[in-house]
Amino acid sequence: MLKEFSDELECVAGLSVYSIWKNINKNDNGDLITEEGITNLIDFFEFAISKNVIVEYDEKKELPIFSEDSPRVVSERIFCDIWKKNPGIPQVNPTDSDDFIAYLVYKTGWATLVHGTAIVPPQI
């Protein structure tokens, strides 16, 4: 999975979480277990944060958040609302749910740090 995660880091700037989801779950044939997919997404964000590619972001203030928390804690905080906002998500193939897709498309709270010189929030 690290190879796939590393490859995804190259093109993550400006993507929505939905695009990232599709890219890191390329082998999904409609049988992806929802909890595994969400764990994979959180793992990717943890990896990207640890590589200084993704940062937590306050969209109202338009500023990155540097909390000094571990990458795992930050990635879990970014997605802490995923179950609350998707109470009826199917246990298998979560992208069958329009609400889940909308959540992924419009998810904020993070941004990409591009070459250490620019912050790019997801393009919504």
Which mean pLDDT values do the consecutive 10-residue runs of the chain (124 residues) have?
Answer: 78 90 84 94 96 94 95 98 94 94 96 89 81
CATH number of the domain at 15, please.
1.10.3510.10
Please report the DSSP string for 78-110 in residue order.
HTTTTTTS-TT--SB-GGG-HHHHHHHHH--SE
Q: What is the pLDDT of residue 31?
A: 87
Q: What is the pLDDT of residue 1?
A: 66
Q: What is the pLDDT of residue 121?
A: 86
State the total domains in the chain.
1
Q: 115 CB contacts (<8 Å, ≥6 apart)?
A: none
Q: How far apart are CA 63 and CA 117, in angstroms?
A: 13
3: helix, strand or coil = helix
* Residue 69 domain boundaries: 2-120
Q: What is the pLDDT of residue 124?
A: 72
How distant is the alpha carbon of residue 107 from its chain centre? Answer: 8
Q: How many residues does the chain have?
A: 124
